[in-house]
Structure 1
Amino acid sequence: MAEKLWEPSAERVAQTNLSRFIEFVNHKHGTDFNDYASLYEWSVADIPAFQEAVWHFFKVMHTQPYEEVVRDLDKMPGAKWFPGAKLNFAENLLRYRDDHPAIIFRSENGSQRSLSYAELYGQVARLAAALADFGVVPGDRVAGFMPNIPETIVAMLAAASLGAVWSSCSPDFGFQGVMDRFGQIQPKVLFTADGYFYGGKTFGSMERVAHVKKEIASIEQVVVVPFTSEEPALSLVPGAHRFDQLVKGSGDPGLNCVPLPFDHPLYILYSSGTTGVPKCMVHGAGNVLMQHLKELGLQSDVKREDKIFYFTTCGWMMWNWLVSSLSLGATLLLFDGSPFHPGPEVLWKFAEDTGMTIFGTSARYLAAIENEGLKPGEKYDLSALKAILSTGSPLSIESFKYVYRDIKSDLCLSSISGGSDLVGCFALGNPTGPVYAGQLQARGLGMAVEAWDDAGKPVVGEKAELVCTKPWPSMPIMFWNDPDGSKYKAAYFDVYPNIWFHGDFCEVTPEGGVIMYGRSDATLNPGGVRIGTAEIYRQVENMAEIGDSLVVGQDWDNDVRVILFLKLNPGYELTPELEKKIKTLIRTACTPRHVPAKIIAVADIPYTISGKKVELAVRNVIHGREVKNKDALANPQALELYADLPQLQN
C-alpha cells in the first residue's frame, strides 16, 4: 500500500488554477468533472476539446485564428496542431509590460540584480532591432553559449520575436561538445558571456568562442556579455559586440513581433550525446507554448504572484521550461554557479531572501543535501514555499520523506519526468491531489501515457515500458538534417508503429500516479527478469557509508550479472562487512535477483553535464566498447576508473 505523505486542504484545492480550469471546462462542455482523474480521462479521450480549452483558458495571443485544433490526430508523427493560426512566442511571454519583477538573478559570488517586465520588454525590443540589423530573419539560427543569466533570456526572446530559432548550451561544455551541437545547426549569431563562476573559481569562455567562430563559418556576429569582468577580451574575437551596448537606451523602442505559423521552429534541443553525436530536436513555437502553459499553469499552479526557481543550466530543457513562466506573469528566480558554494545551504538562503514559492531541482541534489545533514526547514524561513519540483532521475522514497521531514511539511512535492524530446513532461504534478512516497503524482493532462508489457498490452501496478499512444503538441516537429524523417522515426517509432516508445521503464500505479525506474535500455536483465536501476539506488544511497552509486549489467556466462559501483563517503572503506550489509539490505528490500554479483568501490561516478548518471557509457567501458562522445559528460575522466577492472574478469 502506497504511503500518503501530504494532501492539500479543500481551501487550497479551490484556489488552484486547475480547479478554475475544471470549472471552465464544465461550463463550456456541460460536463461535471470534479477531480483530476475525471479531467485526465476526458483530456486523452477528447484531445481536440482539451487542447482548445487550454488555448482559450490561457488566452493565447495570436494574430490569425486557427482553422481547426488538430489535423491528422491519428498520425504519429504527422499530426498538425492549430493549422492556420499565426502567433509569436516572444509576444506571448512579454504580454505583461509593467513594473512587476520578471527576473531576479543571483550569482554564486553573491551579486544580485533584477528586471521588471517593462525593463525586460525594453531590452528585448532593442536587442531585436540589433539582430534585425545583423540580417537575422525567420528560420535563422541564433545560438547561446551562456550561463543562466538574464541576458540569455533577453537574447532568446529577441531571436524568437524575429522568428529565429534559438539553441543553447552551457559554458561548461568543452570545444568538441559545442561543435557537436552548434556545428550541426550552423547559427548566424552566437551569444556568449566572457566567462562564468563555479565552485569559487572563474572560468573564461572567450578562447573557446574564438575557436568555435573560426570553425563554424556560418557565424557572422558574436555578442559578448561582460559577466566575470567589466572589460571582456573582445580582441580575441575581432568584430564582437558588447551586449550592454546593444540594449542600452530608454523609452519604449517598440517591439515588432513577426506573426508566424503555429509550428514555426522556435528551439533546437539536443539529446545527451553519450552514445554518439547528439540528435538535434526541433520544437515549434506554438507547440512549446501550449505544452508549457498546461504544465506550468495547471500542473505546477504557477500564478502571477509566484516566484519560481529551477536549478538548471542553459543546456538543459528545464531552462526552456522555466522561462515559459513569463507567459503567466510570474517572477523567474535565476541562479548561476555551484549549489554547494560556499556551502550546501546557498539555494535555501536564496529561497528565504526572495520569498520563493516554487523550488525546482534534481533528485540528485535532494539526496546530496540530505547526505550533508542539511535541514533547511529549521534554519530558513520557507513560509512562502508551496511546491518543490524534482526531475533528472527518479526521486527515492527516502528523499520524498526527507523533504516533508526536514524542508517543509505543507507543500506539494511533484517529481516530474519527460525529456528534451518533448520539452516537457509525461508525468508530473497535480496540485489538487495527494503525494504518495516514491510516486510522480499524475500522468500529464492530454498525454495518453501507458505502461506496456512485453506483449504490447497496457498494465497497471507492473513495471513496463513507457509509451504514449496519441500525439501531443510538443512532439518535435522534426530533427535537424533529417529530410526524410528517418532519424525521427527510428528514435521513437521503431518498436511500435504509430506509438511513441520513450525508452523509460515505469509503472502506472493504482493510485493514478507513476513510478519511474530509469532508462529501459539501462534496465538490468539477470536471468531474464527486468530490474530498474533506480530500485537499487533507492536502497544504497540512503546508507551513511555511501555517497553515490552506479549500477550496470555485465554480460556474463550467457546471462547478465548486476555490478554495483560505490563512491564511499570519507572515512569509510568497502569491507566484507559492508558488502554483506549492502547485499542483505537489497535482498530484503527488493528481491534476490537485485543483489549485485560484484560490489566495487570507485573514486567517482560519471554524470552528464545536465546531472544524469551515465550507466550506458559505463556499460560500454566495462565491455571494452568505445564511448564516442565524452564531451557530453561533466567529468569524462571518471570513465577511466571503469576500464579493465580485474574484479570483472572472474
Structure 2
Amino acid sequence: MTTSAIEDFAASVGAERGLDLAGYEALWQWSIERPEQFWRDLWNRYALTPSGGTALGESDEHVLADPVMPGARWFPGVSLNYVDQILRHTGLPGAAIIGLTEDGGRTEIAWSELASQVAGVAATLREFGVGRGDRVVAYLPHVPEAVIAFLATASLGAVFSGCGQDYAPEGAAGRLAQLRPKVLVWADGYRYGGKWIDKRSDSAELAALLPTLAGQLVVRIGDQQAQPSGDRPSGGELSAAAIEFTAAAGRQADLITEPVPFDHPLWVLFSSGTTGKPKGIMHGHGGVLLEHLKAVGLQGDMDSGDVFFWQTALSWMMWNYQVAGLLVGARIVCYSGHPLYPDADRLWQVVESEKVSYFGTSPGQLQASRKANLNPGSDHELGALRTIGSTGSTLAADLFVWIDEHVRQGIPVSSISGGTDVVTAFAGGSPGIAVVAGELSVRYLGVELESWSPDCTPLVGEVGEMVITTAMPSMPVGFWDDPDGERYRAAYFDHEWSDGPRPHVWRHGDWVTLTERGSIVIHGRSDATLNRNGIRMGSADIYEVVEGIDQVSEGFVLGVDGPGGAYWMPLFVTLTPGSNLDDALIAQIRSEIRARLSPRHVPDEVIVAPGIPHTRTGKKLEVPVTAILAGRSDVAVDPRSVDDPDLLGWFRERGAEHSWI
C-alpha cells in the first residue's frame, strides 16, 4: 500500500521528535500547539535553503519570533526567493506547463525550457527598469505566459499582480493602477464561448490608465496557428515601449534570483471591490512558499508524478494556488476559454486528454455536468484522476453523491474553503480521511479554526462564527497603501464580540459548524445571514436544496429588513433551458425546503430572475443586493466588479415594487 506524503511526514516527524502523531487529529493538534516545530519540520521536509548568506537558527524564535496577530513575525532574518524552489525541478522530463484553449489549441513549456524562458523575460523586465520592490502587472487570460511573467517578476524581487481580461479597462485599472506598475503584460485577445474576443484596444486603454509604465510585454494569442484562418485579428503595430513576449522569452540570459526577506511581498491580490475600492492584499515570498508546499504537497498529496489542473482565471486566488503545483514538480494545466463550451463535457475531455491526477473545479461546473446527465467515469478514460477539488462556493451534498455515482465510486472529493485573504485553504480534504457528503473533511495543518458563539465560546455541533486563533505564515504582510495597518486590522481583527473586543483573533465572516469528527460545514457568509424571527440560517443550506432541483439552474436567497421589524425573504431563481416557474415548480421548491430544512426556511416569494449577480470570481453578491432590495440609498456597488452589472438595476426595480418601499 502506498503511503501518502502526509502519512510519511507524520511518521518521520513522530520518530524524530519522539511523538505519537498517528492519526490526522493528533498531527493537526501538534501543528497548532507547536507551530514553530511544525513549520520548521515542513521546511526540512522540502529541504528549503535560505539564500543571500542567511541561515535558519535552531531556536523556536528563529521560526516564530512573535505569534501575535496581526503582524506575527515568521522566520526573521531569513532571506529566500519563491522561484528557487521551482528551479529545483527543471531537470525533470516532459512538460512543466500545458496551455489549452476551448477550441483545441495546445502549447507546452518543458521543464528544460522553463528556466531559460523565465530568464529571458526577467532580463527584459530588468531593461525596463524593474528591480526589487517594483511592480509588474498582467492583463491576461489563463495562459502559460502569465506563469512565466509571474516567475520572472518574482525572481527579481519585484511584485506581481494579475487581472483577467474579462475586466473592462477601467475595472482593471481600478486595481492595477493602485500599484503604480512599471510594466504591463497583456494579450491581444482570447477565445470564449466560440468567439474571438479582441482585447487590443482595451489593453491600449488600460496602458493609458497606468501612467507609471516604463514598458509593455505583448502576448500574441490571435496570431498563433491554433487560431482558425479567417477569424484571426491582424497583428497591429506596437509602441516603442512594447516588446513581443515570445522575443523576451527567447532571449539568452542567465537566471539569477534575488534573495529577499521572508516577508517581502511576492504578489498583490485584490478583494472583489463590489462595495468600495478593491483592497490590495500583499503576501510574502516565504509565507506563500511554506503554505503552498503544505497545501499542495501534504494535503493535496502531489509531487512530480502529478498533473494539476484547476479551472480558474488570473483574477482569482486559485490561479496563484495552482502555480504552487510547480513547487513540488507537478505539471500544471492552464485552460483559457468557457468551461462549458461547446458543452458541459469540455473539462472532462481535458481531464482525460492531459491525464490529470488532481482536477479542481467549481460547484457550478459539477452542477452543469449533473444536469446535462453526463457520465464522465464511463464516457472518458479517467484512470489518472486521483482527486477532485471544488471551491468558489459550498459544494452541495448531492454533488458529492453525483461524483461518486457518475465519476468513480470512492474517489476523494476535496471541497476546500479559504480565500484571497490567505491565498490558501483553511479546510478541505486530505489523504486517508473519509469524505462525508456536504462536509469539508478536516481543518488543514497549522490552521486553528474554531466556531465561536457571540460570547466567544468554542462550539461543536452548532452553528457559529468561523475564527482563526493562531497565526498562519500566509496571512497578509499588509494591505497596499495601508502604512499603519488600519485597513488590515479593520478587515479581520477590529470586531466587537458580546464580551468585548478580541483584537488578536481572525474573524473570517463565515457561519460554520465544526462537527465532533473535526469536519466543517459551511453555511454561508455571516454578513449575509438570514435571520427570520430570531432564527439564524445560512444561505448555503438553502442553495443545496434548491439547486438540486433539476429545473433550477441557480438560487439566490436574501433576507431584507424593513420598517417596524418587517422581514422579507425572497428566493430568486434562474432556470434550466425549457423550464418554467409555474405553480407546480414553486410548490416543489417550497416543499423541498420545508421537508429538508424547516418551515422557517421557506421563502416568502419565489421569483424567476434573468440572472444572478456575482463577483468576477463567482461569489454571489448577497450583501449589496440585500441592501439594494431594502431601498438603501447608500449602496455603492462598483459595476466593474460585477459579472453582469445590468442585473443590479433589475433587482433595484424588484425592491421598489415591494410593498414597504
Please report the TM-score for the alignment, with normalisation by the length of structure 2.
Answer: 0.94
Secondary structure (helix, strand or coil) at the match of 1:649 reads coil
Cα distance in 2, alignment partners of residues 36 and 559 from structure 1: 47
- What's the counterpart of residue 566 of structure 1? 573
Cα distance in 2, alignment partners of residues 451 and 578 from structure 1: 36
Match 1:580 to one of 584, 587, 610? 587
Contact 2:81 2:257 in 1 (8 A): yes
Cα distance in 2, alignment partners of residues 486 and 172 from structure 1: 31
Match 1:87 to one of 65, 73, 80? 80
Q: Which structure 2 residues correspond to residues 167-566 of structure 1 after superposition, within 5 A? A: 167-229=161-223, 233-235=235-237, 237-249=239-251, 253-495=253-495, 496-556=502-562, 557-566=564-573
| Structure 1 residue 215, shift from structure 2 partner | 2.1
| Structure 1 residue 647, shift from structure 2 partner | 5.5
Please report the TM-score for the alignment, with normalisation by the length of structure 1.
Answer: 0.95
Cα distance in 2, alignment partners of residues 86 and 503 from structure 1: 34
Q: Which structure 2 residues correspond to residues 48-197 of structure 1 after superposition, within 5 A? A: 48-63=36-51, 64-67=54-57, 68-98=61-91, 99-197=93-191
Contact 1:518 1:533 in 2 (8 A): yes
For 1:580, the aligned partner's letter is A
Contact 2:214 2:241 in 1 (8 A): no
- What's the counterpart of residue 628 of structure 1? 637
Contact 1:210 1:237 in 2 (8 A): no
| Structure 1 residue 229, shift from structure 2 partner | 2.3
Secondary structure (helix, strand or coil) at the match of 2:216 reads strand
Cα distance in 1, alignment partners of residues 350 and 430 from structure 2: 26
- What's the counterpart of residue 596 of structure 2? 589
- What's the counterpart of residue 658 of structure 2? 648
| Structure 1 residue 93, shift from structure 2 partner | 1.7
Listed one character per residue, the Cα deviations across residues 294-347 of structure 1 (whole Å, up to 9, x for unaligned) are 000110111110001000001100010110110100111111100111121111
For 1:594, the aligned partner's letter is H
Name which of structure 1's ranges 98-107 and 408-417 shifts more when overlaid on structure 2: 98-107
Contact 2:40 2:63 in 1 (8 A): no
Contact 1:460 1:510 in 2 (8 A): yes
- What's the counterpart of residue 638 of structure 1? 647
| Structure 1 residue 578, shift from structure 2 partner | 2.2
| Structure 1 residue 232, shift from structure 2 partner | 6.0
Cα distance in 2, alignment partners of residues 256 and 443 from structure 1: 38
Q: Percent identity?
A: 38
Listed one character per residue, the Cα deviations across residues 361-419 of structure 1 (whole Å, up to 9, x for unaligned) are 11121112212222211200111100000000010001110111111113210000000
Secondary structure (helix, strand or coil) at the match of 1:525 reads strand
Contact 1:73 1:471 in 2 (8 A): no
Q: Which structure 2 residues correspond to residues 11-30 of structure 1 after superposition, within 5 A? A: 11=1, 14-30=2-18
For 2:45, the aligned partner's letter is F
| Structure 1 residue 281, shift from structure 2 partner | 0.4
Listed one character per residue, the Cα deviations across residues 577-627 of structure 1 (whole Å, up to 9, x for unaligned) are 322221121111111211111211111111222122111232122123434
User: Structure 1 residues 290, 42: closer, same or farther in 2, change over 3 A?
Assistant: same
For 1:75, the aligned partner's letter is V
| Structure 1 residue 211, shift from structure 2 partner | 1.5
Secondary structure (helix, strand or coil) at the match of 1:216 reads coil
Q: Over aligned residue pairs, what C-alpha RMSD do you find?
A: 1.5
After the TM superposition, which segments of 4 or more aligned residues of structure 1 sit over 6 Å from their partners?
none
Cα distance in 1, alignment partners of residues 133 and 286 from structure 2: 15
Cα distance in 1, alignment partners of residues 33 and 401 from structure 2: 35
| Structure 1 residue 549, shift from structure 2 partner | 1.0
Name which of structure 1's ranges 188-197 and 211-220 shifts more when overlaid on structure 2: 211-220
| Structure 1 residue 568, shift from structure 2 partner | 1.8
Contact 1:552 1:615 in 2 (8 A): yes
For 1:354, the aligned partner's letter is E
Cα distance in 2, alignment partners of residues 442 and 520 from structure 1: 21
Secondary structure (helix, strand or coil) at the match of 2:536 reads coil
Cα distance in 2, alignment partners of residues 238 and 607 from structure 1: 39
| Structure 1 residue 124, shift from structure 2 partner | 0.3
Cα distance in 2, alignment partners of residues 70 and 280 from structure 1: 27
Secondary structure (helix, strand or coil) at the match of 1:32 reads coil
Listed one character per residue, the Cα deviations across residues 263-287 of structure 1 (whole Å, up to 9, x for unaligned) are 1110100111111111110100011
Cα distance in 2, alignment partners of residues 131 and 393 from structure 1: 37
Cα distance in 2, alignment partners of residues 644 and 323 from structure 1: 43
Alignment gaps of 5+ in structure 1: 1-10
Contact 1:210 1:236 in 2 (8 A): no
Between the two proteins, the alignment pairs up a number of residues equal to 636
For 2:242, the aligned partner's letter is A
- What's the counterpart of residue 229 of structure 2? none
Name which of structure 1's ranges 409-418 and 225-234 shifts more when overlaid on structure 2: 225-234
User: Structure 1 residues 570, 343: closer, same or farther in 2, change over 3 A?
Assistant: closer
Match 1:39 to one of 27, 32, 36? 27
Alignment gaps of 5+ in structure 2: 225-232, 496-501
| Structure 1 residue 72, shift from structure 2 partner | 4.5
- What's the counterpart of residue 230 of structure 2? none
Cα distance in 2, alignment partners of residues 487 and 74 from structure 1: 20
| Structure 1 residue 242, shift from structure 2 partner | 0.5
Contact 2:452 2:465 in 1 (8 A): yes
- What's the counterpart of residue 227 of structure 2? none
Q: Which structure 2 residues correspond to residues 594-605 of structure 1 after superposition, within 5 A? A: 594-605=601-612
For 1:506, the aligned partner's letter is V
Cα distance in 1, alignment partners of residues 239 and 440 from structure 2: 47
**Which is bigger in relative contact order (C-alpha 8 A, separation at least 6)?**
1
For 2:74, the aligned partner's letter is W
Cα distance in 1, alignment partners of residues 567 and 13 from structure 2: 51
For 1:601, the aligned partner's letter is V
Cα distance in 1, alignment partners of residues 62 and 222 from structure 2: 47
Name which of structure 1's ranges 67-76 and 97-106 shifts more when overlaid on structure 2: 67-76
Listed one character per residue, the Cα deviations across residues 234-273 of structure 1 (whole Å, up to 9, x for unaligned) are 53655311001112146xx321001111111101001111
User: Structure 1 residues 236, 133: closer, same or farther in 2, change over 3 A?
Assistant: closer
Secondary structure (helix, strand or coil) at the match of 2:537 reads coil
